[in-house]
Amino acid sequence: MKSIKGESFEVRLEDDNHTVAFRGALRLSGMEDYAPILELLKSTLVEPARPIVLDLRELDFLNSSGITMFSRFVIEARDHTGVDLKFLASESIHWHARSLKNLQRLMPALIIQLT
């Protein structure tokens, strides 16, 4: 398991190497600060492609730089042949339904599972 921790958040790549779980509040100051997390996400894009799951159910807050980071990953996944990408989201965390739909506009095949 590999993880990146900050004062208010944790990002964990599970041992299966295709599930990434996010927890807490992500409000880093720009793409340079988000680069290690984006690199960790990109490490799931391997050949042959496997389903990738991003579990956001415990990610309470994400700033717009974080939205940019997810957009970059989604675009990279979209342009990678055969990748199935799924976001696990929560109905009780209001930004999930509001903002994740924009990622679907970038990658129509993206699955957002709200529970």
Partner 1 sequence: MTNQTFGYYGQELGERHEYLTLAFSPLSAPLRSRWRNNGLSADFLGDYVTTFLPADGSTAAAEGGQNEIKHAVTYIANELLENAMKYHEHSVDVPIGIHLELTSTQITVSATNGISNEQAQCYREFVERILQEDPGELLVRQLEESAGSEKSTKSCLGLLTIISDYGAQLGWRFETHATYPEIMTVSTSAVLPLKNLYGVSA
Residues contributing to the site for partner 1 (CB under 8 A): 7-8, 25, 27, 29-32, 61, 63-65, 67-68, 71-72, 75-76, 92-95, 98-99, 102, 105-106
Of residues 27 and 80, the one with the C-beta less far from partner 1: 27
Short-list 41, 45, 88, 84, CA closest to 66: 41
3-state secondary structure (DSSP) of residue 45:
coil
Minimal distance, residue 15 CB to partner 1, in Å: 29
Minimal distance, residue 30 CB to partner 1, in Å: 5
Minimal distance, residue 14 CB to partner 1, in Å: 25
Of residues 6 and 50, the one with the C-beta less far from partner 1: 6
Of residues 2 and 105, the one with the C-beta less far from partner 1: 105
Minimal distance, residue 12 CB to partner 1, in Å: 21
CA distances from 87 to 30, 40, 53, 90, 104 (A): 22, 16, 6, 10, 10
Buried b / exposed e over 37-73, threshold 16 CB at 10 Å, is bbebbeebbeeebeebbbbbbebbebeebbbebbebb
